[in-house]
Chains A and B, each alone.
Chain A
Amino acid sequence: SAVISQKPSRDICQRGTSLTIQCQVDSQVTMMFWYRQQPGQSLTLIATANQGSEATYESGFVIDKFPISRPNLTFSTLTVSNMSPEDSSIYLCSVADRMWEDYGYTFGSGTRLTVV
């Protein structure tokens, strides 16, 4: 299955600043996704990162707050902009494995963000 490297693993940021999270995959994948997991909660899909076009955002998430880049088939970034304490969460990237029927979606280890 695909292997994902997600950076940084954690960060503590001041409110009003921005943080960019990187997701690197060891193979070319068509679909990449960004999730948020608030403390003690399940995962919520933020957006689908599309290669060569704008990301597709889910209800409640907007591009100005969570701009996403997908320059190629192995890399994507998620920026959390103008942060507030409510943005403190774990952010995870995910890819649809090439052998999806056998391995489903693969997730990165996540970025634990704390906004103070």
Chain B
Amino acid sequence: LAKTTQPISMDSYEGQEVNITCSHNNIATNDYITWYQQFPSQGPRFIIQGYKTKVTNEVASLFIPADRKSSTLSLPRVSLSDTAVYYCLVGAYNTNAGKSTFGDGTTLTVKP
């Protein structure tokens, strides 16, 4: 299973764009990259998932370079409610029972 490395914490201000980068040097061919958000006293919530290049949904974008050894979650115009822990996961659905290993996560603090 691929090990992921993220910054432990990041600070931002309301209205700014936030980019969180995750390193996953030993990503496997079948692995996807998934980002989750977790608020205190809640389970992680799916944000976005991708395999290569760029993926965008209504809340975030995910940028994956050609070598796939890293990825960047981009949150446009953050608000105070985006203060949370963000986890990057790398794994495949149908290998090793589809499990993925959570890294330490990035605590994002959005300030007014």
Contact = CB atoms under 8 A, between A and B. Distances in A.
B32 A48 contact: no
B99 A107 contact: no
Nearest to A48: B97
Interface stretch (A12-20, A73-81, A108-116): A108-116
B64 to A, nearest CB: 14
B89 to A, nearest CB: 8
A45 B101 CA distance: 7
Q: Is the interface of A mostly helix, strand, loop or mixed?
A: strand
Contact of A110 (B43, B93, B101): B43
A94 B46 CA distance: 12
Contacts of A6: 43
B41 interface: yes
B87 to A, nearest CB: 7
Interface residues of B, number: 22
Contact of A102 (B42, B49, B103, B105): B49
Nearest to B100: A105
A107 B99 CA distance: 13
A100 B31 CA distance: 12
B93 A96 contact: yes
Interface residues of A, number: 26
Contacts of B99: 33, 45, 48
Contacts of B100: 105
Nearest to A102: B49
B44 interface: yes
A104 B101 contact: no
Interface string B69-112: 00000000000000000010100010001111111110000000
Interface of B: 32, 34, 36, 41-46, 49, 87, 89, 93, 97-105
Interface of A: 1, 4, 6, 31, 33, 42-45, 48, 56, 92, 94, 96, 100-110, 112
Given A103-B46, A107-B36, 6 more contacts: A4-B43, A56-B97, A96-B93, A96-B98, A105-B46, A112-B41
In order of increasing CB-CB distance, the 3 nearest A-B pairs are A107-B43, A43-B102, A104-B34
